Amino acid sequence: MSKDRTKIFKALSDLNRLRILKMLQTKPLCVCEITEILQLATSTVSKHLSILKEESFIIEQKEGKWVNYSINPRPSDQRVSSVLNMLDFWIDDDKLIIGDKQKVTGVDRNEICSR
């Protein structure tokens, strides 16, 4: 198996990265919002985002003072698209994922990032 293929699976091997992907399926988020929901250090969240970005699962877009992360709508690797499409099948009913989704709808970056 090529290293490219194993890197995709390694990117998915962490629960927090799966949680991030599911959150970003709901809406684009900045680091502070993801950090708030996961209750992890900013540096840890940034590392997770870096891994997901490296494998083309997510993209970042600068918007004023914010850097928004979102699901990559057109990954160059079809395997990434396939995995993203299958996430609902594999983990959509997980209680932690459901809780994260509820938190995403109520998270306010203006409130969080001004602390």
Domains of the chain by range and CATH? 3-112 (1.10.10.10)
Q: Which tens digit of pLDDT belongs to each residue from 31-50?
A: 999 999 999 999 999 999 99
Alpha carbons 46 and 63: distance in angstroms, whole number: 18
Position with higher pLDDT, 63 vs 58 = 58
Q: What is the mean pLDDT of residues 89-105?
A: 86
Task: Classify residue 4 as exposed, middle or buried by CB count within 10 Å of its CB (0-12, 13-18, 19+).
Answer: exposed
Tokens at residue 68, please?
């928004």
Tokens at residue 8, please?
């995709």
Q: What is the mean pLDDT of residues 88-95?
A: 81
> Is the pTM for the entire model greater than 0.85?
yes
pLDDT of residue 15 exceeding 60, the answer is yes
Q: How confident is the model at residue 1, as a pLDDT?
A: 47
